[in-house]
Structure 1
Amino acid sequence: MSFVRSLFGELPRRVNSASFKKAAYTFSQNTSNQTLSLAPINLCQRFQSTNAQAAATVTNDDEADPQDIARLRKLRNIGISAHIDSGKTTCTERILFYTGRIKEIHDVRGRDGVGAKMDSMDLEREKGITIQSAATYASWGDYNINIIDTPGHVDFTIEVERALRVLDGAVMILCSVSGVQSQTMTVDRQMRRYNVPRISFVNKMDRAGANPFRVIDQLRSKLKLTAAAVQIPIGAEDQFRGVVDLTTWKAYYNEGENGEVLAEKDIPEELMDFATEKRHELIEQLANVDDEIADIYLMEEIPTAEQFTNAIRRATLDLKFTPVMMGSAFKNQGIQPLLNAVVNFLPDPTQVTNTALDVAQEEKPVDLVPYSANPFVGLAFKLEEGRYGQLTYMRIYQGTLKRGAFITNVKTGKKIKVPRLVRMHAADMEDVEELGAGEIGAMFGVDCASGDTFSDGALKYTMTSMFVPEPVISLSLSPMGRESPNFSKALNRFQKEDPTFRVHVDKESKETIISGMGELHLQIYVERMRREYNVECTTGKPQVAFRETITQPAKFNYTHKKQSGGAGQFGRVMGNLEPMTTDEETGKDVAFENRVVGGNIPTNYIPACEKGFMDALEKGPLIGHPVNGIRMVLEDGAAHAVDSSEMAFRIATKNAFQEAFNKGRPTILEPIMNVSITAPVEFQGTVIGGLNKRKGTIADTDIQEDFFTVTADVPLNDMFGYSTELRSATQGKGEFSMEYKEHQPVQTFVQQQLIEEYKKKEAAKK
């Protein structure tokens, strides 16, 4: 307690210091409104924790090892995220080249037979897309940067989700022609969900029609970001040859065979007026979010380069501002300034608040302090089946993970030894003895699930879970020829690796059904089964993930009675079903509520009633699909002293649900996809006509130069085969992407068709 006494003695002098504020914020535990609690009583309460290790916890910079602080200050954990085909992997390839991690630059599609370093799977190189996020690390000057390159395709959105869950900052890449696209909006939502500060990088400045300032306008209007250019381009399209930095007031050109030399020169005379205008715009935007720049702006002065850097960093870390860089990764332009921006504007691990839940204190939120001397807490955020067993990617939030050390899986309570620790460089790895706080690495031979929290056994902390979207499409899957053990082995592995990939066996048809985020998602897994497990499979027709629900409340009063000699079955339940919207906090849209008073239904039978409700949700009465958006309120009932049992009440509740469901004006819900199509202007009428035929609702159209972009909401059931239709309608020049938006009721005649098809199918089984 000597630290607390000394802290109280110095309180008047240290109240305004940043380190004290950080310590007091950690002590206060008030994560809901992030207020600082400086009262001595709160500090005492925090220090007198029941946790045996609390007294050893390093809580501020004064107590931490100076070398550890210096290491953390020079560390950045970033992700590269964007819409598909914006140049993420190309950009990462150039970053690795300029930081000296690779010696040669290779194309993404592997035209030279090698392919990009970060696309290590054969499938990725063949298709020219990123399927799995890949981790690497690099050094830029004195700084160490951990980088995760994420997929852009919506089918692999879970890879982006889990990367952003553990990263401190991100680079959001945008195409200079296409600008903000559908998946850009998804990535933006994910970054907001995990409060990740970001830099925006307008890529492909060498493309015809490049216009970075239109992209910045879209960032402000579509994503509602306070964004401003920190650079302006020198030339554009095929004349693009460098950038002007508005903070240092210098021009930068990439010279040398691969742009490895960054030459600093004076700003070209013809760009002076435009640069002055854009610098004034940058100052205006910063003045809206930063007090220091606001004072300078009001005095009509120009900030120094240092004032600019500090203000942009402060505003970016506070999630109030997004600096916009520009360049062309493919043409080796603008990557070194982007690396400087990562170092200057994005946070180090000490500047990010990571919250865990203390299992020992009823999941009380606890802010983790990222010093290596603290008790160990780490999160397993991604699993892969490696050549030497399961590879578990770990983010170390505090403490140190050492090879040969014993760590505890907080969820299972199982104690395990860490056999091998590595740093990842795409598919390559480098053995290390330990990983410090704030680091990202991987360990071999540890059996766990994605999302498990590990500690050194002294703490019982668990990290908050990440958001996992529900699958929208299913396929029946069966192995060709005789079933081999590899079939189930592959499915088990894929489920463990990917939370959005689900497998179940249909109770009636006995078929294996796989579910995922889209056709491509499932196709990739079927192809991986063939390549990695030598299992050829046939797939059935894609099935849309319909849902069933009710649109108005309905009462139920059901008695289950069965007498067949000896003890019978008796259970009576009364109450009502009512429509329910999704709870924003829990994400659940089904609920069971017990309002029984007076013991008419004994309390030991209430869980059985809830089980009956959950049984009924599995298969709806209309077309046999799961039910959601429903709350069951149990208000009354009756029990028999001899004949009542858990089974009787479970059956009674399930039957009561089905009876009331049919009275509640039931409807079928179908997944609606947000579809974004880009094609030459001459095909606009044909494309929009095709969307109308597929029951699409046009949300937005945008014409840029010779191309147009249309955004529409289209039922997934009507999107099968669309890629072939679009290719033929646009002479192969059109492209589209889609992502799940929401479930909406189907049209009345479609509902009738689906019900009739289901009845025929059921009749054929009898």
Structure 2
Amino acid sequence: MGSRGPACPVPPGIFQEKKDRIVASNVPIEKIRNIGISAHIDSGKTTLSERILYYTGRIHEIHEVRGKDGVGAKMDSMDLEREKGITIQSAATYAMWGDYNINLIDTPGHVDFTIEVERALRVLDGAILVLCSVSGVQSQSITVDRQMKRYRVPRIAFVNKMDRAGANYDRVAGQLKEKLNHHAVKLQFPIGAEDRFQGHVDLVKMKAFYFDGENGEIIREEAIPADMLDEAKQRRQQMIEGVAEVDDQLGELFLSDAAITEEQLVAAIRRATIALKMTPVMCGSAYKNKGVQLLLNAVTAYLPNPKEAHNEALDQKNNEAKVVLESDPAKPFVGLAFKLEDGRYGQLTYMRMYQGRIAKGDFIINQSNQKKVKIPRIVRMHSNEMNDVNEATAGDIIALFGVECASGDTFTDGTVQYTMTSMHVPDAVISLAVAPKDRGALANFSKALNRFTKEDPTFRVRRDEESGQTIISGMGELHLEIYIERMKREYACEVIAGKPQVAYRETISQKGEFYYTHKKQTGGSGQFARVCGYLEPLPADAVQQYEFVDDIVGGSIPREFIPACDKGFQEAIKKGSLIGFPVVGVRCVINDGAFHAVDSSEMAFKTAALMGFREGYAAAKPVILEPIMKVEVQAPEDFQGSVVGQLNQRRGTILSTETRDGYLVAVAEVPLNTMFGYSTDLRSATQGKGEFTMEFARYSPVPKNESEALMAAYREKLAAEQAARK
């Protein structure tokens, strides 16, 4: 693994000196690591971050996430995070480990804040996937892993909580292979487990490591205990075979029975990890201060530096051709604003530097609107603290003050017109009608909504024109709850929220034809347009939810009116006729029509297409779709009957149930509409011991009786609105 990091942290007396050295440090790019810590909720990400900061000398006291002292972890800087004991916003920091600069982002585990994980992984070069030694690979671990694969992020798996009852390192490493399809290679194995967990055997160095001192800061390196030596040799052989399978250079040495040195092994693990061919697996207990320093050594040894990460941009001058960005300070500057925060001093823009360099006072250009912006201040973030720097170069993660932009904007120095590829932003699944309790707080209410929509692309706000209500939409109940609580705390604005509204969709189940003529004569030139064609369902795996096909031949509709037909259809799909929700999965085809030399216009064809859509829609057997959530419930196995019964009552389909060490893990698909209030019901049915996680799985047709009830409620609402207008 290489003794790349110091064996213990710097004595507290010279913390300030070290801190100053960090801020001023000008580390070569080969010694920079941009990493994130991601995992299922409650796997110990924030606790691990806290230990990393302690061992690297960034903090000189350890505080727990739900500690009795009430201080809370450094990376959970928001009051709400400390109270609830969860991470809500990803937090960035940086630290020195030996002569390596590690830029670190701690991300939330809760699925409602999935965008925080998404945008962190978008800009990172490597990651630590934390898994609980008891629960293993859980539903959110699968989601996080999918996000890592989407952005091709090499990772090290860290099996945490080895001190807990039921800890099983080998089982969790096996799940990486079975559930996530990783080529998992174990680089260590634990000495003891549960309350007898003492340290590790490092299979690369073939040494035993123990962590002494009050906070595990003194590392003791010893020979492997005699009773474990045979097992260690066997496991080392398995490790070498595992790496040789995916690395040709080591494979040749292995097949020729040549002696393999530690250096050759470290180099092979590094090559295979960066090429995403394998995942090194390590273990420890962040809470008990065991194994974190060895994990830091592995980060510097096996995860890529910015030059080794593959980053692409799109050249706007050359028809969006892909351009590989090189982490070279001499090249033209390219940076991505991946996260915004509204702080005490105005907007804070987090930026990943991909190429070039910037200094205080430089001008940079926002590629989304070509605006020239001056950089008044550059800082490096340490959770919610800021350390000023004068310049930043390729590979850095920094924050800028006074630079107005949106999340996902690309900045350059103006010599190139590159934009970074966009982030995947999931659709919102739940909505609430909100209004300020006190009319006097209206200004603060709109300020808060403006700020939150700018900061979080999954938080959406719209005004319902018919009811005049403000509707907020997000990823789940907790997501919206947190924003309502933040309005109260940060903007002194108490909010009244209506009943949660599920984001239904409408679609068609068969082909539906239309032959619509729009005629209007009001004296002078009138309006005339005829549109014929059909609607048909798109394939289930289609990426686009709407498709327009122009099959007009012989000029029955002139070319200049075709875009107006497309606009009319796009207007029509915004609101289906069943319950007024957007229509998805539909292909609109026009194949005939007629026009009038004088009376036809864009407006006439747009209206004809809109009305034609409604005609075809009625004939295409429309159905209502509802969001189906993947729900994973964990509870003591004594409560299996109640847990499964509750899920069945909520129209749930049980996908799997298994028991691990006295705990039931049930995975089911359940309609979101039936999940409101589930947390309270689950707690009362399991004496407060049950917990669950939920994430969006897919849309599925609503059962007939539900569908009729929704349509009747929609008709009543329309009738009430019409009566109110009269």
TM-score of the pair, normalised by structure 1: 0.90
1:598 partner letter: G
Aligned partner of 2:462 in structure 1 is 504
1:313 aligns with 2:275: no
| TM superposition shift of 1:762 | 1.7
**Which of 569, 587, 591 is the aligned partner of 2:547?**
591
**Which of 640, 651, 669 is the aligned partner of 1:684?**
640
SS of alignment partner, residue 458 of structure 2? coil
1:642 partner letter: V
Cα distance in structure 2, aligned partners of 1:760 and 1:303? 77
Instruction: Report how many residues are paired.
Output: 697
1:445-493 Cα distance to aligned partner (Å, 9 max, x none) = 1110000000001110110001000000000001112152111111011
1:116 aligns with 2:73: yes
Deviates further, 418-427 or 478-487: 478-487
SS of alignment partner, residue 279 of structure 1? helix
| TM superposition shift of 1:557 | 1.1
Aligned partner of 1:514 in structure 2 is 472
| TM superposition shift of 1:689 | 1.2
| TM superposition shift of 1:641 | 1.4
| TM superposition shift of 1:277 | 2.6
Aligned partner of 1:751 in structure 2 is 707
Aligned partner of 1:524 in structure 2 is 482
Aligned partner of 1:478 in structure 2 is 435
1:671 aligns with 2:627: yes
Matched ranges for 1:196-345 at <5 A = 196-300=153-257, 303-345=260-302
SS of alignment partner, residue 57 of structure 2? coil
1:654 aligns with 2:640: no
Deviates further, 283-292 or 503-512: 283-292
Aligned in 2, Cα 1:651/1:111: closer, same or farther, shift over 3 Å?
Answer: farther
Aligned partner of 1:638 in structure 2 is 594
Aligned partner of 2:688 in structure 1 is 732
5+ residue gaps, structure 2, are 1-24
Matched ranges for 1:612-631 at <5 A = 612-631=568-587
Aligned partner of 2:314 in structure 1 is 357
Matched ranges for 1:176-191 at <5 A = 176-191=133-148
Aligned partner of 2:8 in structure 1 is none
Deviates further, 99-108 or 563-572: 563-572
**Which of 381, 395, 398 is the aligned partner of 2:352?**
395
Deviates further, 262-271 or 240-249: 262-271
1:378-424 Cα distance to aligned partner (Å, 9 max, x none) = 00000000111100000000000111000001110110100000000
Aligned partner of 2:667 in structure 1 is 711
Aligned partner of 1:562 in structure 2 is 520
Cα distance in structure 2, aligned partners of 1:698 and 1:569? 56
Cα distance in structure 2, aligned partners of 1:676 and 1:358? 43
Aligned partner of 1:24 in structure 2 is none
Deviates further, 428-437 or 102-111: 102-111
Is contact 1:582-1:588 (8 Å) kept? Answer: no
Cα distance in structure 2, aligned partners of 1:422 and 1:581? 49
1:269-323 Cα distance to aligned partner (Å, 9 max, x none) = 2222222232222122212211223223324456322122111111101101000
Cα distance in structure 2, aligned partners of 1:597 and 1:690? 57
Cα distance in structure 2, aligned partners of 1:697 and 1:277? 44
1:31-50 Cα distance to aligned partner (Å, 9 max, x none) = xxxxxxxxxxxxxxxxxxxx
SS of alignment partner, residue 341 of structure 1? helix
| TM superposition shift of 1:599 | 2.1
1:504 partner letter: R
Deviates further, 388-397 or 484-493: 484-493
| TM superposition shift of 1:82 | 0.3
Cα distance in structure 1, aligned partners of 2:68 and 2:708? 51
| TM superposition shift of 1:352 | 1.1
Deviates further, 508-517 or 697-706: 697-706
**Which of 186, 195, 211 is the aligned partner of 2:152?**
195
Cα distance in structure 2, aligned partners of 1:619 and 1:692? 32
Cα distance in structure 2, aligned partners of 1:582 and 1:474? 25
Deviates further, 70-79 or 338-347: 70-79
1:588 partner letter: Q
Aligned partner of 1:105 in structure 2 is 62
**Which of 510, 514, 534 is the aligned partner of 1:576?**
534
Aligned partner of 1:494 in structure 2 is 452
SS of alignment partner, residue 253 of structure 1? strand
Cα distance in structure 1, aligned partners of 2:277 and 2:329? 30
1:606-657 Cα distance to aligned partner (Å, 9 max, x none) = 2221111111111111111111111111222111112112111111111111
Is contact 1:110-1:125 (8 Å) kept? Answer: no
Aligned partner of 1:52 in structure 2 is none
**Which of 433, 451, 454 is the aligned partner of 2:390?**
433
Is contact 2:190-2:199 (8 Å) kept? Answer: yes
Aligned partner of 1:346 in structure 2 is 303
SS of alignment partner, residue 186 of structure 1? helix
2:85 partner letter: G
**Which of 496, 499, 502 is the aligned partner of 1:541?**
499
Cα distance in structure 1, aligned partners of 2:244 and 2:637? 40
1:496-532 Cα distance to aligned partner (Å, 9 max, x none) = 0000000001121110000000000000000101111
Aligned in 2, Cα 1:419/1:583: closer, same or farther, shift over 3 Å?
Answer: farther
Is contact 1:582-1:589 (8 Å) kept? Answer: no
| TM superposition shift of 1:765 | 2.0
Aligned partner of 1:174 in structure 2 is 131
Aligned partner of 1:552 in structure 2 is 510
2:376 partner letter: P
**Which of 700, 717, 724 is the aligned partner of 1:761?**
717
| TM superposition shift of 1:701 | 1.7
Cα distance in structure 2, aligned partners of 1:84 and 1:225? 21
SS of alignment partner, residue 656 of structure 2? strand
1:193 partner letter: R
Is contact 1:247-1:304 (8 Å) kept? Answer: no
| TM superposition shift of 1:241 | 1.2
1:329-388 Cα distance to aligned partner (Å, 9 max, x none) = 000000000000100110001111110011011111111111101110100000000111
Is contact 1:474-1:542 (8 Å) kept? Answer: yes
Cα distance in structure 1, aligned partners of 2:641 and 2:237? 42
Is contact 1:669-1:743 (8 Å) kept? Answer: yes
Cα distance in structure 2, aligned partners of 1:730 and 1:484? 42
Aligned partner of 1:29 in structure 2 is none
Cα distance in structure 1, aligned partners of 2:236 and 2:652? 43
Is contact 1:583-1:589 (8 Å) kept? Answer: no
Is contact 1:601-1:638 (8 Å) kept? Answer: yes
Percent identical residues: 62
5+ residue gaps, structure 1, are 1-67
SS of alignment partner, residue 93 of structure 1? helix
Aligned in 2, Cα 1:204/1:73: closer, same or farther, shift over 3 Å?
Answer: same
Cα distance in structure 2, aligned partners of 1:297 and 1:177? 34
SS of alignment partner, residue 222 of structure 1? helix
SS of alignment partner, residue 276 of structure 1? helix
